[in-house]
Amino acid sequence: MSMEDGSGYENALAELIASKLELPVRYEWYPMATGFIRNTLKAGKCDVVMGYAQGHELVLNTNHYMVSTYVLVVPEESALAGVTQLSDPRLEGRVLGVVAGSPPANHMARYGLIGKAKPYQLVVDRRYDSPTVNMLNDLDAGEIEAAVIWGPIGGPLVKRDHPGLKVIPLLKEAEFPKLFYRITMGVRQGEKVWQRKLNSLIRRNQGEIDAILAEAGVPLVTDMGDGLREVGQ
């Protein structure tokens, strides 16, 4: 999503917002682990965190600029290419990859899919390891038969590096926990003026934001997570 060479779509979003503000972009990098907000945003080392789920108490959320969902990734020619939900009987007995502790794991446990699943670590130092990259490589190698991944990570990786794989948004899971999330920018608690300024920029530039996300391969869904959203809607 973000890359030191500036090629990630979150880089592009940050550059877009900064250009509208006529401000330069400076990055502060920190592993997505315990202390992330404390050592970056709260420490004054940055002023906005890209890609933060709505409702998190550690930050003041802007309005959401995208809604996305977990996805099932399978080989295009696989017998699983028509699966659209985790309760599908065709997944029974299959080896699925999933990030341990992520919301889809609860659904997989409910449907008896965890026993044969291959777990991947949730909290890692992304400078040295990437569960999603590892999972997609294992899928290409045939070590797993399908992968359950957060769409804004999996979609762009498949588009960029895995042309033989199919990304299926999981929009039909009725049970808790939900698999779709509204994604915001996070600012420091109490900074309402800064939040409102970003809200205004998001609202006025949603079309450009959508175009960046769609070009990257991020699956965009409706606010209620019940259908795909075409760019421009």
Instruction: Please give the mean pLDDT across all residues of the chain.
Output: 95
Q: Is residue 106 part of a domain?
A: yes
Q: Are residues 71 and 165 in the same domain?
A: yes
Indicate the helix (H) or strand (E) that contains 99: strand 96-99
User: How many independent structural domains does the chain possess?
Assistant: 2
Q: Is residue 55 part of a domain?
A: yes
| pLDDT tens figures, 142-179 | 999 999 999 999 999 999 999 999 999 999 998 999 99
Q: Are residues 75 and 157 in the same domain?
A: yes
Q: Are residues 35 and 55 in the same domain?
A: yes
d(CA 87, CA 171) in angstroms, rounded, equals 12
Long-range contacts of 117-125 (CB under 8 A, 24+ apart): 118/143, 118/144, 123/32, 123/33, 123/34, 124/31, 124/33, 125/31, 125/33
pLDDT the model gives residue 166 = 98
Q: Are residues 76 and 146 in the same domain?
A: yes
Q: Is residue 201 part of a domain?
A: yes
| pLDDT tens figures, 32-75 | 778 999 999 999 999 999 999 998 789 999 999 999 999 999 99
Q: Which domain holds residue 193?
A: 9-66+181-216
Q: Is residue 90 part of a domain?
A: yes
The answer on pLDDT for 216 being more than 80 is yes
Q: Are residues 154 and 209 in the same domain?
A: no
